[in-house]
Amino acid sequence: MTPKQIDAFCGKLPAATRTVQWEGVIVFKVGGKMFCLIAPPDHSVGRICFKCPNEHFEALSHAEGFRPAPYLARAKWVALDDPRVLTPLELKAYLKRAHAVIAAALPRRKQAELGL
pLDDT at 109: 94
Question: Of 7, 2, 1, whose CA–CA distance to 20 is shortest?
Answer: 7
Model confidence over 21-62: pLDDT tens digits? 888 899 999 999 999 999 887 766 668 999 999 999 999 999
CATH architecture of the region 3-107: Alpha-Beta Complex (3.90)
What value does the mean pLDDT take over residues 90-116?
Answer: 95
pLDDT at position 91, please?
95
Sign of CA dihedral 27, 86, 97, 6: positive
Q: How confident is the model at residue 12 (pLDDT cuts 50, 70, 90)?
A: very high
Domain ranges across the chain: 3-107
Q: Specify the pLDDT at position 20.
A: 95
